[in-house]
Structure 1
Amino acid sequence: MADQRTLGELLKANLVSDEDLNAAVSGYLADPTLGPRQIADGITLDITAAVLANRWATDVLADEEMSEAARRNAVRTAILLARVA
């Protein structure tokens, strides 16, 4: 699986746009169900799995006192660090 790139690498390569990423974050926060979601053309990711794999993101989302901005940043970070096929 050494050929798997992170979503952050795909963002740097302009294969994913900031708009795609923002839409993925918003979509997840509105409906955090399991399953693959299309991030951009030909790029899918199970955002829930990515969040659950990132301890910081799960801690932020579990803390009811965290701001909306902190929640968005936590999900964004988990997505950017996730490896996609």
Structure 2
Amino acid sequence: MNRPTVGGLLSSGAVKPAEVSAAVEAYLSRSEPGLFKMSCEYELDLASAVAAHPFTVRLLANRKCGVAARRAAVRTAIILARPEKRVDAPSL
């Protein structure tokens, strides 16, 4: 079975919009973003999520792009990413 995307988890309510916004801000504000906990069940490697989205990589490399464009591109990469189930996630 394929892992769901962050977008799919948003649609199902398993991840909240505020968690996606926090992930975007975490990526943009850290030099080495690392793992980001999304909900009590999932975590996402932010650097890998962005690196897997070629458009976002190109946009972030362009110094002429503004903050809003960067934020939107990172948000898109995160929404398309497939987070991992957390090892320490509670059993439901």
TM-score normalized by structure 1?
Answer: 0.91
Residue 36 of structure 2 is matched in structure 1 by 37
Distance 2:8 2:17 in 1: 12
What is the root-mean-square deviation in Å for CA atoms of aligned residues? 1.2
Moved beyond 6 Å, runs of 4+? none
Q: Which runs of 5+ in 1 are unaligned?
A: none
Letter in 2 for 1:24: A
Equivalence map 1:21-32=2 (5 Å): 21-32=20-31
Equivalence map 1:1-85=2 (5 Å): 2-85=1-84
Q: Which runs of 5+ in 2 are unaligned?
A: 85-92
Q: Which has the larger radius of gyration?
A: 2
Distance 1:75 1:25 in 2: 6
Distance 1:47 1:84 in 2: 9
Identity across aligned pairs (percent)? 37
TM-score normalized by structure 2?
Answer: 0.84
The count of corresponding residues between Structure 1 and Structure 2 is 84
